[in-house]
């Protein structure tokens, strides 16, 4: 698994992929948080709080993470190297894990420079460092857990097709449905709270407020494990048919 992980991570930075992902994420988030007028601008928010930034993260991740993961297995299938990887003394689980964690680490690396937002917001307040750091870093935990779920969805999408564009679109649509779909359906049904709690948005918004609940953590981990397992099953089914 370590060799696959290092190969994938080095591949991101050996090309422009890793730098583009980090650069685009930081540029778009900075524009919304500091420049563009609107609900996501922390300067217009009126409080020393990064809540607007964490509300825009699901949208940014919804496109950036599928862009990272779309090549995970599609490129191996196109190059004909997937069969070679599977025949090596490495389990399918470790193969999926190597690619999964490489993509996840890239997202975490992209998040690290946003700690500058925390520092700058602390300096902008009427009282220096008058910021709820516990709540803020709880929100960062929520963002990482959301990234774990999105990454698992993206890796799974790359196992079911050999086309990178299709893998990107499938991952983006699945992320959108799982994030917004259950809340949308809940507005039409009587047991709305239960249905809404099945979606990513319900649990992410709770953590984005800095509230760390073990139920939210378990939910995100369960979604990540589910799609991780589906990725493994998808690969095994593909090779069983050959």
- pLDDT tens track for 76-112: 777 667 666 666 667 888 889 999 999 999 999 999 9
Quick one: 93 exposed, middle or buried, by C-beta within 10 A (0-12, 13-18, 19+)? middle
Q: How many domains does the chain have?
A: 1
What is the domain range of residue 143? Answer: 2-240
Instruction: In whole angstroms, give the CA distance from residue 221 to residue 59.
Output: 20
State the chain's mean pLDDT as an integer.
84
Mean pLDDT in residue range 125-129:
64
Q: Is the backbone of residue 49 left (phi > 0), alpha (psi -120 to 50) or beta? A: beta
Most confident of 15-29, 95-109, 128-142, 197-211: 95-109
Is residue 12 pLDDT above 60, yes or no?
yes
User: Among residues of the chain, what percentage have pLDDT more than 70?
Assistant: 86
What three-state secondary structure class fits 124? helix
Instruction: In whole angstroms, give the CA distance from residue 19 to residue 158.
Output: 21
Structure-token match 């993206």, residue found:
154
Mean pLDDT in residue range 141-168:
94
């Amino acid at each position: 698994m370590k060799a696959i992980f290092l190969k994938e991570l080095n591949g991101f930075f050996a090309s422009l992929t890793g730098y583009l992902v980090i650069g685009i994420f930081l540029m778009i988030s900075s524009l919304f948080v500091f420049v563009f007028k609107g609900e996501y601008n922390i300067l217009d928010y009126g409080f020393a709080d990064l809540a607007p930034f964490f509300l825009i993260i699901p949208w940014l991740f919804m496109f950036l993470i599928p862009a990272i993961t779309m090549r995970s297995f599609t490129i191996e299938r196109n190059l004909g190297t997937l069969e070679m990887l599977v025949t090596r003394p490495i389990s399918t689980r470790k193969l999926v894990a190597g690619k999964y964690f490489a993509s996840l680490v890239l997202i975490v690396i992209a998040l690290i420079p946003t700690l500058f937002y925390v520092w700058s917001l602390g300096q902008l307040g009427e009282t220096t460092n008058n910021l709820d750091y516990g709540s803020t870093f709880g929100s960062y935990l929520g963002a990482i857990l959301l990234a774990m779920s999105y990454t698992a969805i993206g890796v799974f999408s790359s196992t079911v097709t050999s086309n990178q564009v299709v893998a990107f679109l499938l991952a983006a649509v699945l992320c959108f449905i799982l994030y917004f779909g259950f809340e949308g359906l809940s507005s039409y049904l009587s047991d709305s709270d239960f249905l809404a709690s099945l979606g990513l948005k319900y649990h992410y918004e709770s953590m984005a407020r800095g509230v760390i609940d073990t139920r939210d953590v378990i939910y995100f981990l369960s979604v990540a494990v589910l799609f991780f397992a589906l990725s493994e099953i998808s690969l095994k089914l593909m090779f069983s048919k050959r």
